[in-house]
Chains A and B, each alone.
Chain A
Amino acid sequence: MSLNIIVLAKQVPDTRNVGKDAMKADGTVNRAALAAIFNPEDLNALEQALRLKDKHPGSKVTVLTMGPGRAAEIIREGLYRGADGGYLLTDRAFAGADTLATSYALACAIRKIEQVDIIICGRQAIDGDTAQVGPQVAEKLGFPQITYAEEIIEVNNGKIIVKRRLERGIEVVEGSLPMVVTVNGTAPDCRPRNAKLIQKYKYAKTVTEKQEESEDYTALFDARPYLNLTEWSVNDVDCDVKKVGLAGSPTKVKKIENVVFQVKESKTISGSDFDVEELIKELIANHTIG
């Protein structure tokens, strides 16, 4: 049984490697100082999708991402690893969306894609850590969900069996398609980029990217239609403009503050035998330990 699989992926600033220049003097985030990467758990999700494709020949894996024009990189990254195509949902009207407005836009886009069997995405993105978009998309589409997935064990005859990793154990659940699955970081890493696929797709571009190119690749894109990456705007996916972007977000950011901690006056000691023993004696004497 061949499957139509959508992978939801997000381009995120690499918040795990925050340098000293990550914050501007005024306390706002200096996005330019943070590398834009494929959200790590979305890569785990992509791997689960590609494994399903390996097991079910004829299946199709499509990457759907929402973001600014440069997020087309996420689709190329997916193609390099084995995805079959992708859509970039991009429009100024989507900007400033909270998780609910984001999931509404994604759900509208997914409705444009015919006969979706499984939607797979990372559990959460590292820039927000909310884990909300997957379940919110599922609810908007009226699909059931399996969150915290570590392994999609089997898909057969419209049934899906998934192993979930919870705080204190595991659960194996069975559901029916269509299904939304959100994948944990504990799932296997994504396969690396494939050299042949890089060669094949390195010129893949969206319409906007093509317009920004100084050279004319029209002939190339006509000869190789798979290099055309689809861009969708608000109008292309039949969104209600009032429900997307900042305007469509029920949550509002009231205030953003830099994190400041109370600095203590600390006593610095060396790691010498004498210093360590003196400290331990003191801790025992004042009943902190022992």
Chain B
Amino acid sequence: MDGNAAAAEAMRLARVQVISAYPITPQSPIAEKLADFVAEGSLKAKYVRVESEHTAMSVAIGAQLTGVRACTATSSVGLALMHEVLGVASGCRLPIVMAVVNRSLASPWSLWCDHQDSMAERDSGWLQFYAEDPQEVLDYLLIAYRVAEDPRVLLPAMVCMDGFFVSHTPAVVLVPEQETVDSFLPPYNPANLYLDPDDPMFVNDLTPPSDYTEMRYQHKVAFEEAFKVITEVQEEFFRLFRRRYSFIETYKCDDADVVLVTLGSMSGTAKYVVNELRAKGYKVGVLKIVVFRPFPADQIRNALKHVPVIGVMDRSAGLGAEGGPVWIEVSRALSGLEPMPKVAGFVGGLGGRDLAPHVIEKAFRNLIDIKEGKIEMRQGSKWIDVREDAMKIREVKVNV
């Protein structure tokens, strides 16, 4: 099954009770498949048809407040339209879990993959997981529900998958038994706010400056607690399902002198390139970031403290910043190390451009050249796959 099918299957296994999803390419198959599950009776849930993503999230918030497990899914401009209510969900500490199928933001209009949509929401107070393949989509969604609903956390979670490269790429997925999932993920039991006419309370009311900072602080502490909870949940997931996950995945990093940091589907291609380069004698590795929020700075620092040259591949432009957002955070995580590694940033794979093996290899070759002193590391992110005629395409000359 592909990533979209794996997401729908995970939602069914999680026995979600309310679904409010608005279709958008490349997420639509999730909305459609969940509708099929409800229609055929294999998922006992209320499917609410909504007229926009803003409403999809609003319905999920209302549903979760009544004490049921809610789910939704979206992409790109749909996620952008949700922006306002994403903060309501996280600020009300509602453990809604959402599949995000990564797609570029307009404009230029594009249906295809990059990470700008979810990167734009990285500080919205949601947990963020990034899946490499359909199996990880299914597994991270189940893990996300458990982490999100833990009373120590109570945060909503996005499980992100690359549009088309994961969402529409069928691959082998091991689907766990319902009974095992039931033992891993018991029925939702609201531990914070709830809506009950017999026991009314204020929810999301006007909060004066005297309390706002403290409520934000609670929110921040929840992310700190999430480190412990995610570790526990991943451990239990391994015990029940025999697949081991962590905040990061290191691939051949132990003896590496060059490592590329990746996110999402590009990680698989990068591992493939590592095997090819290792066959030629280069000591290269990959560090995949699985959990981006909370950001696993300690884990990354520990895994890379012996590596002299590190690259970070961003699949979003980081417009106006010194470089891509992942590069900025990884650089920050590694700062202060003695000796300080060189941390080079790359931007690539925008708007569906394929981060093919030859593109990843170009990034590795660049890092190897830095390692061997053949080139200087440049400041900011290097655009690894931009065409040479970039400044000439679609040129419009007015009144010439």
Q: Do A and B truly interact?
A: no
Chain A residues with a Cβ under 8 A of chain B: none
